[in-house]
């Protein structure tokens, strides 16, 4: 059956793609053979060529193998966007092991759970984050900690402003291994023992019903989106990508790292988002492509001198995380002539399943299904497909869909459904498709807060809050925020003895110590009781509706 969106498919692109049947690291090896002397990464002015990058990866893979890492081993990477992240990511795979990317904003309690749940044997981190790892190490199965300093890959003279936190000299204690020393041993990489269907990485998605869950991705699932992003975003070896999205997150990983390296192009890497530095990088390094979360673009275009800045090098700009305000999209087009290309994806699909056609995007729309994706909208109750214009749950089948949640058989049963012999992943997002085949998100079947592009699951935050000795009950909802899309608000019922003794600030500060910066409740409201159903369930949707009325 001809899909309605095929009439708007980019003219030069095929409807289906052939994906290389190799391990993921072979894509970078190929780029290194074709472009050995070309700059792969520019980190604040420090240039690393493809051959230098590949050499470091092979040597670290050899060191990891000597430390006992083998096929199936899980090795965690816990750091900001740096060349060390890239080297570690590929070296772990080249050692036939599985990458567990960890958010550097994680605090110790969250970190301990993920290290335990994944069964990680080694963590590769930076010296500023090392104390957190060492504090949790006795409670986990960790055998080794590998540490690097930011200065190891910073230039003597930076061409872009370097964040002060990267310039600090952090102490490294005895008993940990140093990344640079391992690389300098120049050990040979082990024999390749993995293929396309072997596990490649285990990114975690926050739990909709509690604890985070590891998403099992193979070399094949990751390659499918690496290659599709290359074609859809029109990457070539001449592309210069501005990389500001975190690599631990699947959108940043695919669009700012894996796909550009597959193209043999250059990545301008920033450790964190900074508007002034990003603008300088675009002008100075002549960046051509930038995938972001919409809040970054809103911030960039709010620069007082934006109309005087040179954005003429940009050829493609897009992202997701939240719908882009129409006025911002119009301002972008006015300044650059470019339309913002919005997309949609999940950790379970290793980033995109939908893209807007670059030549005909629709604002506040997630676009049309990507190469090889079968996306349908079904009635939540009957499970039957609904016609265009009618809302239902988005389900997806395609080459990028994960193989299930790590050690979660019950969750896996609930996450998939079979139609016509194909397994479809149930996204939990309520959508509709218009007559032209474009998809639009309107709601969620699962509770989720969008905090500046990060998914926050209220159940997970509530689980933490219930550990507070002063809290009797808690309900977490999302409320509108002009900068962060949504803010996390907690409605709290204090225990009788704590009323009048504990303040909202006490709860917020307690939460800061136990939850990531994007996750902890920044707003706390004390209430005498929470509304409940006849069966005793907290009516969170009623509370969320009441909260949003404040912003109407």
Q: What is the pLDDT of residues 92-136, one digit of tens each?
A: 999 999 999 999 999 999 999 999 999 999 999 999 999 999 999
- Split at pLDDT 50, 70, 90, the class of 328 is confident
What whole-number distance in Å separates Cα of residue 392 and Cα of residue 402?
22
Residues pairing with 318 in the sheet: 291, 341
Q: Answer whether 361's CB lies under 8 Å from 367's CB.
A: yes
Q: Return the pLDDT at 353.
A: 97
Of residues 457, 547, 551, 481, the one with CA closest to residue 298: 481
CA dihedral 288, 293, 294, 300 (to 10 degrees): -60
Least confident of 56-65, 331-340, 357-366, 504-513: 357-366
- Split at pLDDT 50, 70, 90, the class of 327 is confident
Q: Which H or E run includes 289?
A: strand 289-293
Statement: residue 1 has pLDDT above 60: no
Q: Return the pLDDT at 444.
A: 65
Q: Using the 8-state DSSP alphabet, how is residue 362 labeled? A: -
Of residues 224, 202, 197, the one with CA closest to residue 215: 202
Q: Answer whether 8's CB lies under 8 Å from 20's CB.
A: no
What average pLDDT does the segment 453-476 reach?
86
Q: Answer whether 518's CB lies under 8 Å from 485's CB.
A: no
3-state secondary structure of 386: coil
Mean pLDDT of the chain: 93
Q: How far is CA 157 from the centre of its chain?
A: 31
CA angle 407, 413, 415 (to 5 degrees): 95
| CA dihedral sign, ordered 252, 255, 261, 267 | negative
- Output the CA–CA distances (angstroms, integers) from residue 315 to 14, 251, 365, 394, 524, in the order listed: 21, 19, 21, 31, 43
Statement: residue 443 has pLDDT above 90: no
- Split at pLDDT 50, 70, 90, the class of 188 is very high
Statement: residue 469 has pLDDT above 80: yes
3-state secondary structure of 364: coil
Of residues 516, 449, 522, 521, the one with CA closest to residue 110: 516
Least confident of 93-97, 111-115, 143-147, 462-466: 462-466
What whole-number distance in Å separates Cα of residue 74 and Cα of residue 315?
38
Q: Return the pLDDT at 208.
A: 54
What average pLDDT does the segment 31-55 reach?
99
Burial of 536 (0-12, 13-18, 19+ CB in 10 A): exposed
What whole-number distance in Å separates Cα of residue 83 and Cα of residue 53?
9
Q: Return the pLDDT at 533.
A: 66
- Split at pLDDT 50, 70, 90, the class of 325 is confident
pLDDT tens profile 340-369: 999 999 999 999 999 999 899 998 899 999
How many other β-carbons are positioned within 10 Å of the β-carbon of residue 406? 21
Q: Return the pLDDT at 168.
A: 87
- Output the CA–CA distances (angstroms, integers) from residue 289 to 115, 229, 235, 323, in the order listed: 34, 12, 8, 19
All domains of the chain in start order, with CATH: 4-14+36-355 (3.40.50.12780), 449-549 (3.30.300.30)
Q: Using the 8-state DSSP alphabet, how is residue 255 labeled? A: I
Of residues 405, 530, 549, the one with CA closest to residue 458: 530
- Output the CA–CA distances (angstroms, integers) from residue 38 to 141, 192, 511, in the order listed: 40, 26, 46
How many other β-carbons are positioned within 10 Å of the β-carbon of residue 424? 21
What whole-number distance in Å separates Cα of residue 68 and Cα of residue 92?
12
| CA dihedral sign, ordered 445, 382, 212, 345 | negative
Q: Which residue has the tokens 């349908």?
A: 376
3-state secondary structure of 71: coil
pLDDT tens profile 517-540: 999 999 999 999 888 766 566 888
Q: Return the pLDDT at 441.
A: 87
Q: Using the 8-state DSSP alphabet, how is residue 138 labeled? A: G
Q: Using the 8-state DSSP alphabet, how is residue 204 labeled? A: E
Tokens (6 digits) for 191: 């024999």
Helix%, strand%, coil% for the chain, nearest 5: 35, 25, 40
Backbone angles phi, psi at 213, to 5 degrees: -125, 135
Backbone angles phi, psi at 436, to 5 degrees: -90, 0
Which stretches of 154-246 are assigned E, i.e. beta strand? 177-178, 199-201, 204-207, 210-214, 217-218, 240-243
Of residues 534, 392, 393, 547, the one with CA closest to residue 458: 547
Of residues 440, 441, 438, the one with CA closest to residue 3: 438
Q: Return the pLDDT at 466.
A: 85
């Amino acid at each position: 059956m001809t899909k309605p969106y095929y009439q708007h498919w980019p003219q030069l692109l095929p409807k289906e793609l052939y994906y290389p049947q190799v391990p993921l690291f072979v894509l970078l090896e190929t780029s290194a053979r074709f472009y050995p002397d070309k700059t792969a990464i520019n980190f604040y002015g420090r240039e690393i060529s493809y051959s230098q990058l590949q050499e470091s990866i092979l040597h670290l893979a050899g060191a990891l193998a000597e430390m006992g890492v083998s096929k199936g081993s899980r090795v965690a990477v816990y750091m900001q966007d740096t060349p060390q992240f890239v080297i570690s990511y590929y070296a772990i795979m080249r050692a036939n092991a599985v990458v567990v990317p960890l958010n550097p904003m994680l605090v110790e309690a969250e970190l301990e759970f993920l290290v335990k749940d994944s069964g990680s044997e080694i963590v590769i981190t930076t010296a500023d984050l090392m104390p957190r790892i060492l504090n949790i190490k006795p409670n986990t199965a960790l055998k080794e900690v590998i540490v690097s300093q930011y200065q190891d890959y910073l230039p003597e003279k930076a061409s872009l402003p370097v964040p002060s936190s990267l310039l600090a000299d952090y102490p490294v204690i005895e008993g940990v291994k140093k990344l640079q020393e391992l690389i300098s041993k120049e050990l040979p990489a082990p024999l390749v023992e993995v293929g396309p269907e072997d596990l490649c990485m285990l990114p975690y998605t926050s739990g909709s019903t509690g604890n985070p869950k590891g998403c099992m991705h193979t070399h094949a699932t990751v390659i499918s989106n690496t290659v599709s992003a290359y074609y859809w975003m029109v990457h070539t070896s001449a592309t210069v990508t501005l990389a500001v999205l975190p690599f631990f997150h699947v959108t940043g990983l695919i669009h700012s790292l894996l796909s550009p390296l597959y193209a043999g192009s250059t990545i301008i890497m920033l450790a964190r988002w900074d508007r002034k530095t990003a603008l300088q990088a675009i002008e100075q390094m002549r960046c051509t492509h930038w995938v972001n979360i919409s809040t970054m673009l809103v911030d960039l275009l709010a620069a007082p001198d934006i109309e005087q800045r040179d954005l003429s090098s940009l050829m493609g700009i897009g992202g997701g995380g939240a719908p882009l305000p129409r006025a911002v999209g119009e301002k972008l087009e006015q300044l650059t002539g470019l339309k913002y290309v919005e997309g949609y994806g999940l950790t379970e699909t290793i980033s995109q399943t939908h893209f807007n056609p670059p030549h005909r995007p629709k604002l506040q729309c997630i676009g049309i299904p990507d190469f090889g994706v079968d996306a349908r909208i079904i009635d939540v109750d009957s499970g039957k497909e609904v016609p265009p214009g009618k809302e239902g749950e988005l389900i997806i089948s395609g080459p990028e869909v994960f193989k299930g949640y790590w050690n979660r058989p019950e969750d896996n049963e609930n996450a998939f459904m079979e139609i016509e012999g194909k397994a479809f992943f149930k996204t939990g997002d309520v959508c509709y498709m218009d007559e032209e085949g474009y998809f639009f998100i309107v709601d969620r079947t699962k509770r989720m807060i969008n905090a500046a592009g990060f998914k926050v699951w209220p159940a997970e935050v509530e689980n933490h809050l219930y550990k507070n000795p002063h809290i009797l009950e808690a309900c977490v909802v999302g409320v509108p925020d002009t900068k962060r899309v949504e803010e996390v608000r907690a409605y709290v019922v204090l225990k009788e003895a704590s009323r009048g003794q504990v303040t909202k600030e006490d709860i917020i500060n307690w939460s800061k110590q136990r939850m990531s910066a994007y996750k902890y409740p920044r707003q706390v409201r004390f209430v005498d009781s929470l509304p409940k159903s006849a069966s005793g369930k907290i009516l969170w949707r009623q509370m969320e509706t009441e909260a949003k009325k404040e912003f109407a």
